[in-house]
């Protein structure tokens, strides 16, 4: 019988339930300070603490590593040069996240119809496509923005190149950011793009905080260049208590939780379990990340 592969699991406070793997792999659980010891001789690394950059610090100890799986859709905090240049396969968790009553005042108000409105979705991966389907289902017109411009896309119809974003948002009611963070998408939404939006438009960022130039977003909201924003991700997290975004009535702030429906940790663990079984059986892994581009291309 072939020797069982060793899986190092980098976690913080929460430890994933990997009981289903106990008979097929050897598990080593470690927090960041102990990762160097855990990763030495390990075949596989599960980055459960997906904001950690600890692997970069212990990379010389990871000489036996063949596969790294990240318990998130984004991999930007993981991809350092040595890993990108290596033969180590990287997979992600694409598909798991395919989502004031303060004054006790009773005040009737009207809500807006979203049917017929136009949503521009930046990011044409699995989450973007699932989002496009949900938006269309409630009556919105959807177009996409991605790396390559194309027509007749099955989910978006028209996909515009990201370099043309400022040209294609002039009639957008909602600008929805779901793109991975790469050198091409960093700071994509800046003062120019915000100025091109209608004054009634809303910005929704559930991708990565660095997709926007935050100071430009704050200025656009303060100056009523756009009508509002719903922001789940930020350049610095947690969002500092004195940040001006907290005080803006036109902003909805959530703490990086848009994909965290009840049971999300179980779904993340199950995705890794299934991929680990594929690894042990010698089958191709799911969700292999293009380490140069920084996302799953298939």
Q: Which residues have a catalytic role annotated?
A: 208, 237, 256
Tally of residues, the chain: 298
Largest CA distance in the chain: 70
Cβ-based burial of 159 (10 A; exposed 0-12, middle 13-18, buried ≥19): buried
Q: Helix count (H) and strand count (E) of the chain?
A: 8, 15
For residues 138 and 87, the answer to whether their CB atoms sit within 8 Å is: no
Question: ∠ CA(49), CA(55), CA(58), 5° rounding?
Answer: 135
Nearest to 296 by CA among 128, 69, 92, 145: 92
Rounded Cα distance between 122 and 49, Å, is 26
Instruction: List strand residue ranges (DSSP E) for the chain, in order.
Output: 6-10, 26-30, 44-47, 67-70, 89-91, 118-122, 141-146, 150-153, 157-161, 174-177, 202-205, 228-231, 251-253, 289-290, 295-296
Rounded Cα distance between 273 and 282, Å, is 14
């Amino acid at each position: 019988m072939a020797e069982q592969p060793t899986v190092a699991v980098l976690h913080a406070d929460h430890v994933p339930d990997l009981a289903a793997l106990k008979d097929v792999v050897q598990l080593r659980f470690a927090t960041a300070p102990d990762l160097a010891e855990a990763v030495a001789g390990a075949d596989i690394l599960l980055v459960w603490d997906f904001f950690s950059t600890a692997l970069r610090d212990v990379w010389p100890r990871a000489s036996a590593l063949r596969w790294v799986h990240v318990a998130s859709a984004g991999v930007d905090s993981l991809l350092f040069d040595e890993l990108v240049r290596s033969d180590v396969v990287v997979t992600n968790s694409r598909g798991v996240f395919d989502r004031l009553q303060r004054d006790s005042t009773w005040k009737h108000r009207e809500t807006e119809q979203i049917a017929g409105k136009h949503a521009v979705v930046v990011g044409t991966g699995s989450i973007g496509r699932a989002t496009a389907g949900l938006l269309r289902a409630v009556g919105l017109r959807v177009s996409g923005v991605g790396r390559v411009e194309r027509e007749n896309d099955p989910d978006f119809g028209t996909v515009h190149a990201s370099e043309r974003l400022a040209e294609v948002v002039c009639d957008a009611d909602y600008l929805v950011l779901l793109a991975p963070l790469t050198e091409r998408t960093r700071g994509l939404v800046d003062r120019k793009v915000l100025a091109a939006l209608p004054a009634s438009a809303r910005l929704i960022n559930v991708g990565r905080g660095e997709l926007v130039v935050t100071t430009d977003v704050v200025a656009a909201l303060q100056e009523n260049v756009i009508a509002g924003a719903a922001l789940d991700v930020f350049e610095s997290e947690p969002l500092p208590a004195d940040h001006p975004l907290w005080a803006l009535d036109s902003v909805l702030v959530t703490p990086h939780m848009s994909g965290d429906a009840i049971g999300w940790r179980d779904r993340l663990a199950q995705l890794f379990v299934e991929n680990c079984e594929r690894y042990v059986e010698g089958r191709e892994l799911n969700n292999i990340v293009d380490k140069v581009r920084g996302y799953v291309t298939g």
